[in-house]
Amino acid sequence: MQTPPTDHPTAQLLHELPDGSAHVDWLLGQDSAGVEPLITYRLGGRIDDLEPGATIDAEHIGDHRPAYLTYEGPISGDRGTVRRLARGRIVARRRVSVSPAVDELEIVWGSASGEQKGARRQRIRLEQRDGPLWTVRILE
């Protein structure tokens, strides 16, 4: 089956909390302009550094505002700060299964500023385990 092309923004933010803990928020655009709410997963670390075969747990959290694709700094309500780790484009996305939900994405990662010099391409499989809990698997 041919994977339909897409061109949606994606980013990873380091979210540092006031208590000193931190996690990565992975933001996935639902449209090419990045104006729709961003599907967001909380991760224990970066996914763009993972090698094929690696997995990482993810928690689907509430959608984020599109401003977070470019915003860095303090978060209102004393919820900490965010700093962009990587930006990229989702160039292909395919729903493999509905129940449980399984999606395959192809992402071209650039630098935190979005520069494509030294860009890295990844194929990622998102597998829903239970409710908001997912597994991110790096295919290549």
User: Containing domain of residue 112, as a range?
Assistant: 5-138
- Give the E-state strand segments of the chain in sequence order: 5-16, 22-28, 38-43, 55-64, 73-74, 81-97, 102-109, 120-130, 133-138
What local confidence, expressed as pLDDT, does residue 9 receive?
96
What is the domain count for the chain?
A: 1
Residue written as token pair 């391409």: 121
Whether residue 1 has pLDDT greater than 50? no
Show Cβ contacts of residue 76 under 8 Å, excluding neighbours closer than 6 positions.
Answer: none
pTM above 0.85, yes or no: yes
What local confidence, expressed as pLDDT, does residue 5 receive?
64
Amino acid in position 102: V
Tokens of 48: 């763009």
Closest CA to 11 of 81, 86, 72, 117: 86
Q: pLDDT digits over 106-139, tens only?
A: 999 986 665 656 688 999 999 999 999 999 999 9
How many whole angstroms separate alpha carbon 88 and alpha carbon 104? 16
**109: which strand partners?**
88, 120
What local confidence, expressed as pLDDT, does residue 119 receive?
80
Q: pLDDT digits over 62-114, tens only?
A: 999 999 999 999 999 999 999 999 999 999 999 999 999 999 999 999 866 65
What local confidence, expressed as pLDDT, does residue 97 receive?
92
Q: pLDDT digits over 38-61, tens only?
A: 999 999 999 999 999 999 999 999
- The phi, psi pair for 68, rounded to 5°, reads -70, -10
More confident: 2 or 72: 72
Amino acid in position 103: D
